[in-house]
């Protein structure tokens, strides 16, 4: 059995922060991730998305300036975009692992499961740690309807070899809107099917209204109050069935993407064996980001049921808090900005 002062599950921004900070304070640290080191933001989200957006924006600027000084709207070479994006992504995991080795952090590349309150099965190794950190982030929601497994993920979108001529996104959150705009600005026909009365339900009203206008201007079909119930595969396309006000509607697209939400990636960790309380929103934690039922365990980022938004800066902040509390004892609480006062209109949810 290998023993550590702290062992971290997940090498995204939260886990990386905790492992590095603890190791710098003379705690023997280990870390594991079943995916390449770097997490969603660096490898499967924010950073690669920004690289792709650059080319799509240039084409859209040219489209809007055609006849106003620009004669030709350039085409988008999707293969070149993907190769350029991949040059950034491929460089990250070895760079991160090199940093771990420099701090004498033991690295593993496999899944982890709890055996007891302070022991883990990590691949073929049994790990015992004084403190265990869950920083596993989130992953796409499982679509529990016929053909749900035919839908691609946001990670698949960021690795498309060719841009399909038509795409359909299930869900009207920020991932759907971002990728829909990239695809539409690159020349594809795009549909978003959302079950709610409005997209981006948790975002500020005025910004959402502007974004809806821009979405429609691009020709993106925004279909609201429609619940997707089935995906079927045709010869060269998919048929997506949805129900709206009791009536069935069928959509056709070359590719279908699951953007219906991202629950915390904690349900394969055998948390019950360690007496760790959790819900569908994540591990139940106190103000110190410590498990309320197992004091040996801390959680940060999207895996924690905290009041923090699922954003990279929040995960990094929570990582610093967890590391500080492991090193010095529980002295640092999560300190989030105060909520907006009830009279401040832009903070209010958009009422249907």
What is the C-alpha separation between 60 and 183, in angstroms, rounded? 11
Average pLDDT, the chain: 93
What is the average per-residue pLDDT within 331-350?
61
Average pLDDT over residues 152-173: 97
Q: DSSP string spanning 272-287?
A: GGGT--EETTEEEB-T
Mean pLDDT lowest among 31-40, 79-88, 172-181, 341-350: 341-350
As a whole number of Å, the CA-based R_g of the chain is 22
Q: What is the pLDDT of residues 249-285, one digit of tens each?
A: 999 999 999 999 999 999 999 999 999 999 999 999 9
Tell me the domains of the chain and their CATH numbers: 2-139+263-328 (3.50.50.60), 148-258 (3.50.50.60)
Q: Work out the average pLDDT over 236-259.
A: 97
Quickly state the pLDDT bin for 336 (edges 50, 70, 90).
confident
Report the pLDDT averaged over residues 2-21. 98
pLDDT of 348 > 50? The answer is: no
Beta pairing, strands 247-253 & 238-244: antiparallel
Residue 351 has pLDDT above 60, yes or no: no
Mean pLDDT of the region 3-26: 97
61-83 mean pLDDT: 93
What residue has token string 């950034």? 88
- Which pTM does this prediction carry? 0.91
**Position 339 pLDDT exceeds 50:** yes
User: What is the model's pLDDT at position 310?
Assistant: 85
pLDDT over threshold 70, residue 340 = no
Contact assessment for residue 135 and residue 14, using Cβ atoms and an 8 Å cutoff: yes
DSSP state of 128: E
Bigger pLDDT: 315 or 307?
315
Residue 197, number of CB atoms within 10 A of its CB: 12
- Is pLDDT above 80 for 337? no
């Amino acid at each position: 059995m290998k023993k550590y002062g702290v062992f971290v599950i997940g090498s995204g921004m939260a886990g990386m922060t905790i492992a590095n900070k603890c190791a710098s304070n003379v705690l023997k640290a280990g870390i594991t991730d079943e995916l390449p080191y770097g997490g969603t933001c660096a490898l499967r989200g924010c950073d690669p998305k920004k690289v792709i957006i650059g080319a799509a924006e240039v084409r859209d600027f040219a489209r809007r300036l055609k006849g106003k000084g620009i004669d030709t709207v350039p085409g988008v070479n999707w293969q070149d975009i993907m190769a350029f994006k991949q040059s950034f992504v491929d460089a990250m995991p070895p760079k991160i692992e090199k940093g771990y080795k420099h701090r004498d952090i033991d690295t593993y590349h496999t899944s982890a499961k709890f055996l007891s309150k302070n022991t883990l099965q990590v691949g073929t190794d049994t790990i015992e740690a004084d403190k265990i950190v869950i920083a596993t982030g989130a992953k796409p929601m499982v679509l529990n309807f016929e053909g749900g497994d035919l839908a691609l993920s946001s990670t698949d979108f960021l690795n498309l070899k060719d841009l399909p001529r038509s795409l359909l996104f299930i869900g009207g959150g920020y991932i759907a809107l971002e990728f829909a705009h990239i695809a539409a600005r690159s020349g594809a026909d795009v549909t978003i099917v959302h079950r709610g009365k409005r997209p981006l339900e948790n975002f500020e009203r005025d910004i959402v209204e502007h974004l809806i206008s821009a979405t429609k201007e691009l020709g993106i079909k925004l279909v609201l109050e429609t619940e997707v119930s089935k995906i079927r595969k045709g010869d060269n396309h998919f048929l997506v069935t949805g129900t709206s006000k009791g009536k069935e509607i069928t959509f056709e697209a070359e590719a279908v993407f699951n953007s219906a939400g991202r629950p915390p990636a904690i349900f394969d960790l055998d948390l019950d064996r360690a007496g760790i309380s959790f819900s569908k929103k994540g591990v139940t934690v106190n103000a110190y980001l410590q498990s309320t039922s197992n004091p040996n365990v801390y959680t940060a980022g999207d895996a924690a049921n905290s009041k923090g938004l699922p954003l990279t800066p929040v995960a990094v902040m929570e990582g610093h808090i967890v590391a500080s509390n492991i090193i010095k004892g529980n002295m640092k609480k999560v300190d989030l900005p105060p909520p907006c006062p009830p009279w401040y209109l832009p903070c209010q949810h958009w009422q249907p």
